[in-house]
Structure 1
Amino acid sequence: MSSAWTGERVLLRGIEPGDWQTFKEFDEHAPDMRSGDMLHPPQSDEAYRRWTADEAARRPDADSDSYRLAIVSRKDGTMVGTLNTGDADRRAGRFAYGVSIGHRYKRSGYATEAVVLMLRFMFGERRFHKCEIGVYAFNEPSIALHRKLGFVTEGRLRDHEYFGGRHHDLVLMGLTAEEFNARHAFLSVDSPVHASSAGD
């Protein structure tokens, strides 16, 4: 496969208006919401339709380093999760991102491959030097995933977030372009594109 956004198991694409039902399904599962963000009050179907339509209409310009993508299974075309980048500091060369996989699709290697595709683009095409993330300490599967990808724990913010009636720590992790390249290798301009297919 020659697309930079396609791996062996997943492809990354823009948000489509019809994705609203998938976003609603993800939001109705409390652990999914807490692992990526926090619990929110219920929304109407119309609110989901409008939000998704707005996301679908948003087109990043050539210099944008903030975007949201759908993670889609190549096997059957099902949207299995989302990935977004943000907090980009081009002067310092760092950015952040978030990834979320729906509970029915976890442990299938989707997050690993999607993240590798995104990091290849941000490091190898956008010339960023470092990716920095924060993971809630109770989200042990996400911490394990990022360690497997090569992220290093750089710190811990104690009692930083409040969920389920108590405070929780936020684990800070980082990965440099050199560390990524040592594990996954950048692609030459004529190389076929395949991300790591390790499980998550």
Structure 2
Amino acid sequence: MGSMWTGEKVRLRGVEPEDWEGFRDLAQDTVDNRNADLITPPRSAESFRSWTAERAGRAPGGEAFRLVVEGLADRAFAGSVTVGETDGRAGRFRTGIEIARDHRRKGYAAEATRLVLTYMFAEQRHNKCEVEVYAFNEASLALHLGLGFVEEGRLRQHEFFAGSYHDVVLLGITADEHWATHPRPSVR
């Protein structure tokens, strides 16, 4: 029996309370945080424990959700993938991915993103996924372009941090573009 949440390298699973250390470790690298979002002041271990416990108690799915990316080889916390800003009327959603440094360059981000795209397109009837990537984040741009996302625009000097303004690249992929290079899930 197969699971649409398991690929060849990773398994996507719900957040568990014990994942707090993995989320804390993801948040401690300033460069990684800047690549994905804005830098915030340091948080306490208790803050991560309570934040993770609250997310572990949420029902899965819905308008927005976060899943843990777990490496199949070692069953270790490797990062997380999120779905948010869903628009059921228009059939759009946004996704994001973060992989811990010691799990990078193994194909985890690509496989986790493909699994989420397959779920959202095949099970939730969405037609388009959008992502925003800072223009200087070459690794994320390469990841998404390699998955078939298309650059749709650029918000010039859109975010301010590290003493200057930075562009944000808008990328998107439609369900048809995804299915052109990936198999649909089986009903058997």
Bin for the TM-score computed over the shorter chain: over 0.9
Q: 1:177 aligns with which of 175, 178, 181?
A: 175
What per-residue deviation string (whole Å, max 9, x for no partner) do you get for residues 2-61 of structure 1? 011000100000111111111111111112211221111011111110001001001136
- Structure 1: where are the runs of 5+ without partners? 191-200
User: How many Å separate the matches in 2 of 1:118 and 1:149?
Assistant: 12
- 3-state DSSP of counterpart to 2:70: strand
- Give yes or no for the alignment of 1:112 onto 2:110: yes
Instruction: Please name the residue that 1:9 is paired with.
Output: 9
Instruction: Please name the residue that 1:142 is paired with.
Output: 140
Q: Following TM superposition, by how much is the alpha carbon of 1:127 offset from its aligned partner in structure 2, in angstroms?
A: 0.7
Instruction: Name the aligned partner's letter for residue 116 of structure 1.
Output: R
Runs of 4+ in 1 over 6 A off after TM superposition: none
Which runs of structure 2 are paired with 1:88-167 in the superposition (5 Å)?
88-167=86-165
User: How many Å separate the matches in 2 of 1:168 and 1:105?
Assistant: 27
Which runs of structure 2 are paired with 1:74-93 in the superposition (5 Å)?
74-93=72-91
User: How many Å separate the matches in 2 of 1:17 and 1:178?
Assistant: 37
User: How many Å separate the matches in 2 of 1:135 and 1:13?
Assistant: 25
Contact 1:5 1:13 (8 Å CA) reproduced = yes
User: How many Å separate the matches in 1 of 2:100 and 2:124?
Assistant: 28
Instruction: Please name the residue that 1:43 is paired with.
Output: 43
Contact 1:15 1:70 (8 Å CA) reproduced = yes
Q: 2:67 aligns with which of 66, 69, 81?
A: 69
- 3-state DSSP of counterpart to 1:159: strand
Instruction: Name the aligned partner's letter for residue 184 of structure 1.
Output: H
CA RMSD of aligned residues (A): 1.0
Contact 2:71 2:78 (8 Å CA) reproduced = yes
> TM-score, normalized by length of structure 2?
0.97
Instruction: Name the aligned partner's letter for residue 150 of structure 2.
Output: V
Instruction: Please name the residue that 1:19 is paired with.
Output: 19
What per-residue deviation string (whole Å, max 9, x for no partner) do you get for residues 124-171 of structure 1? 111101001110001011001111100000000001112211111000
User: How many Å separate the matches in 2 of 1:89 and 1:99?
Assistant: 19
- Structure 2: where are the runs of 5+ without partners? none
User: How many Å separate the matches in 2 of 1:150 and 1:49?
Assistant: 36
> TM-score, normalized by length of structure 1?
0.91
Paired positions, count:
188
User: How many Å separate the matches in 2 of 1:45 and 1:17?
Assistant: 12
Q: Following TM superposition, by how much is the alpha carbon of 1:65 offset from its aligned partner in structure 2, in angstroms?
A: 3.3
Q: Following TM superposition, by how much is the alpha carbon of 1:188 offset from its aligned partner in structure 2, in angstroms?
A: 2.1
How many percent identity over aligned positions? Answer: 49
Instruction: Name the aligned partner's letter for residue 12 of structure 2.
Output: L
Contact 1:32 1:102 (8 Å CA) reproduced = no
Higher normalized contact order (CA 8 Å, seq sep 6+, divided by chain length): 1
- 3-state DSSP of counterpart to 2:7: coil
